Structure 1
């Protein structure tokens, strides 16, 4: 058996290529939207991808099932209860699928319906040989993570209450997954950093036995306690989640991951902005602070670019990119991973443009922890904004700070006073640059962000 896990750090997303090397037949599970790597790896191993299996309708990324099916001729597989607008092969609870003739004792997949994170969620039990008693592993999608379980509240806005889904999730875990042998490896669809749970481990796999002993949700003594545990303290869902959950059900345009976005002149960019386009500057916060076009919002490519762009940019607006030369295609494709396809182009020769149009360039204020402390003493009406998630805030915060997670900031800007000097902070300085640039774009004049974030401030207080 060939079993390969792919891990996309910027979305904390795991996907899988599973093949029977004797028969040359393979499947891909939960693919990202740019699919060239799966195709290349399968060809290199002499495998033909015949199924694209989705564990559920994902909310945190736009899956590559349509792209991979178009490129390979593979069938798209969902749970038999899933309702999609394209042709799918629905699999029943307990159904098995072999990647070779029975006499060859091939790699075998067993589908188990595990609703809870979503109603159509399924898990895939993988047997290296059809007659094995102990599975090689189980692909749990967003039902079971390492250290956590899938959050049950993401579909509350489109017809399902979180308590209903949490009830389903408990039964799925106890009746379908925890019955597997302790030695069964657990391979989830996400790791630490994903907003699909609140306590995900940095480990990319575990065993069922280990999860029974260490996973807080699996150790809940009863269903009522479980529901309470998994429905409290979840991080705010990025704004694009519902958009992606719906789009993953639909027919849509396919991504050409090799197609460069269009180069645009300064005049073309300013015209597009005047018509409602948003300018996303993907350079590092330090580089952005040294000089950027006035309307630009800073979402660094080196971080969780698509997630935070999708948190602050509406899904129905045009986007113009600013990147370091050579990163334009990367910027387009990473936004496409969450279905943000309205990238109309990129600013050509950005550094030359900023030299030529200095009147449209501004410098962003960034404060060290020491400078921030001095400013707090000097300015009575300073407005401090904490853009971390509630779970982070609960572990400590700067006294008096207004708490607005960065993903909620576009809809909560009115809670802030545009006339007051403002300092924004996060955990380490990435999200605060995103938030501060958004506030400037919304008309705030005196805005700074805290270099190094809360961690740097805490260290400065302790060493004072």
Structure 2
């Protein structure tokens, strides 16, 4: 058996290429949209991608099964579980609980595991030349290392009200199926630490059924379904705004992108014309370079592992935009964006100083200056971290407006007072600062050191149990 785990750090997303070396056949589970990685793995190992599958209709990335099918001719095997509202709306071979996909001398048995979504399935793999006992289970967003999939995404991200409680009940029952597997079976999921598909995902990529039964919180509630549900639904992170679009695009027919597109480097004249016509500018430089000189109204989304997540929060799928990045960054950023379907890149520039336009500078303050604004009635301190982080401990008097929701909550930020923003360590506040400047806030300062520096200086924090909190 051939096995390779493909991991995208930018979305903490895992996919798998599994092959039978005797017959040369291979299957890919939950592929990312830039498919060249799988084609190269197959080529290097004398395999043919003959089968494709997904564990569920994903919300956090645009699955590349259809791109791979178009290039390889492989058969798509997709869930037909979950009822009429949860069916893929394009041609595929349907899967039900108990069905088996045969890939040469390997078999993957379908186990319907609803909870995260109604149609969610897992695959129990048997390598028959070695043993007739199962050796691996591919759980998608059902069971992670140290956590389980959240059932509230359909409600929070896709607006399907009333689904989270039903999903929690389904999850409770699905865990019993998982528990019945042999304890030695390896567990491979679709996500790792950093994903918004759970709240406590482990940093390692694989586990075993036995280890999860011992260490994963979800298996510690016995028959206490209500206690399990309460904990599962509490304190989940904010689902990025783009999740609803992913849910839609992964379900319906859509345009395919079988190669990583190449985008033009714009001349100063081309950029200025596009800028004058209102194209949005996304500056992917690091926050320090941005602070030292940025294009007015541009958004600072650093080109790191969080780039696609924040782009998904703040861009829409109808507008074109321009990137500011180095020449050696453009392919990587293009891949990150295409993985969530943001394909409308007009072009890029690499040096803002070549444009002949007046740049702005960010007002970044030190912790000593930040301290002078505490308890000042003419100052509004805005904590742009997530609600759960804020509730666990914040600077006294600070209001909470999560950075991803700032465009929808501008009325909660004062245009009359001096506004001081911060996050945990400066990355999110850099995004927030550029957002507020774009929306016309003039009196904004960024305490880039954030809660990390505040707590290191023994600054006082309070929880939401100790204060009346404002959040968005």
Contact 2:324–2:351 at 8 Å: present in 1 too?
Answer: no
Kept in 2: contact 1:325–1:349 (CA 8 A): no
- The equivalent of 2:468 in structure 1 is none
TM-superposed CA distance for 1:375, in Å, is 4.2
CA–CA separation in structure 2 for the residues paired with 1:331 and 1:110:
37
- The aligned residue for residue 178 of structure 2 is 177
Please, what TM-score do these two structures have when normalized by structure 1? Answer: 0.93
Question: Matches of 2:273 and 2:410 in 1, distance apart?
Answer: 26
8 Å contact from structure 2 (residues 34, 260) kept in 1: no
Secondary structure of 2:153 counterpart? coil
How far the C-alpha of 1:461 sits from its partner, in A, is: 2.6
CA distance in 1, matches of 2:107, 2:68: 21
Displacement of 1:325: 2.6
> What residue is the counterpart of 2:345 in the other structure?
343
Query: Which residue number in structure 2 is paired with residue 206 of structure 1?
Result: 207
Match of 1:93 among 94, 97, 100: 97
Per-residue deviation, 1:231: 1.1
- In structure 2, the residue matched to 1:219 is 220
Moved more, 147-156 or 249-258: 249-258
Contact 1:28 1:53 in 2 (8 A): yes
CA deviation map 1:139-174 (0-9, x unaligned): 100011111111101112136511011111111111
Matches within 5 A, 1:294-305: 294-305=296-307
- Quote the Cα distance in structure 2 between the aligned partners of 1:369 and 1:135: 56
Aligned to 1:45: 45
In structure 2, distance between residues paired with 1:298 and 1:207: 41
Query: Which residue matches 1:117?
Result: 116
1-structure distance, mates of 2:129, 2:170: 29
CA distance in 1, matches of 2:195, 2:437: 28
Kindly state the Cα deviation for residue 256 of structure 1 after the two structures are TM-superposed: 4.8
Q: Report the 3-state secondary structure (helix = DSSP H, G, I; strand = E; otherwise coil) of the residue aligned with 2:6.
A: strand
Partner of 2:463: none
Query: Which of 319, 325, 329 pairs up with 2:327?
Result: 325
Within 5 Å, give how 1:299-448 maps onto structure 2. Answer: 299-347=301-349, 349-353=351-355, 356-357=356-357, 359=358, 361-376=359-374, 380-448=377-445
Deviation track 1:398-457 (CA, whole Å, cap 9, x = no partner) reads 111111222212211211112322222112211111111101101111222222321111
Which residue pairs with 2:195 in the alignment? 194
SS at match of 1:279: strand
Aligned-partner SS, 1:158: coil
1:312–1:409: 8 Å Cα contact kept in structure 2? no
**Matched ranges for 1:114-153 at <5 A:** 114-129=113-128, 132-153=131-152
Question: Which stretch of structure 1 is more off in the superposition, 177-186 or 158-167?
Answer: 158-167
Cross-structure match for 1:103? none
Detail structure 1 runs of 4+ shifted over 6 Å in the superposition. none
Instruction: Tell me if the contact between 1:276 and 1:317 (Cα under 8 Å) persists in the aligned partners.
Output: no
* Distance in 1, Cα, partners of 2:401 & 2:252: 33
The 5 Å alignment of 1:215-294 reads 215-221=216-222, 222-294=224-296
Deviations 1:249-281 (A, max 9, x none): 122222254421133344443443454432110
Task: Tell me, in whole angstroms, the C-alpha distance in 2 between the residues paired with 1:76 and 1:442.
Answer: 45
Report the CA distance between 1:76 and its aligned residue: 1.6
**1-side partners of 2:35 and 2:218: how far apart?**
33
Instruction: Identify which range, 303-312 or 261-270, moves more after superposition.
Output: 261-270
Counterpart residue number, 1:84 = 88
Secondary structure of 1:155's aligned partner: helix
Q: Distance in 2 between matches of 1:28 and 1:154?
A: 25
Cα distance between partner residues in 2 of 1:437 and 1:420: 18
1:441–1:172 Cα change, 3 Å:
same
Residue in 1 that maps onto 2:72: 72
Give the Cα separation in 2 of the matches to 1:77 and 1:413: 45
Contact 1:191 1:203 in 2 (8 A): yes
* Structural RMSD (CA): 1.9
Q: Is the 8 A contact 1:265 1:348 kept in 2?
A: no
Q: Give the Cα–Cα distance (whole angstroms) in 2 for the partners of residues 131 and 326 of structure 1.
A: 45
Is 2:151–2:168's contact at 8 Å kept on the other side of the alignment?
Answer: yes
| Contact 1:181 1:208 survives alignment (8 Å) | yes
SS for the counterpart of 2:170 is: helix
| Residues 90, 252 of structure 2: 8 Å contact kept | yes
Task: Render the CA deviation track for 1:373-396: whole Å, top value 9, x for unaligned.
Answer: 23447x542221111112222331
**Residues 171-214 of structure 1: per-residue CA shift (max 9 Å, x gap):** 1111x211101111111101111111111111211111111111
TM-superposition CA deviations, 1:307-343 (whole Å, max 9, x none): 0111122233221111123222322221111111111
Number of equivalenced pairs: 452
Contact 1:419 1:445 survives alignment (8 Å) = no
C-alpha distance in 2 between matches for 1:187 and 1:435: 36
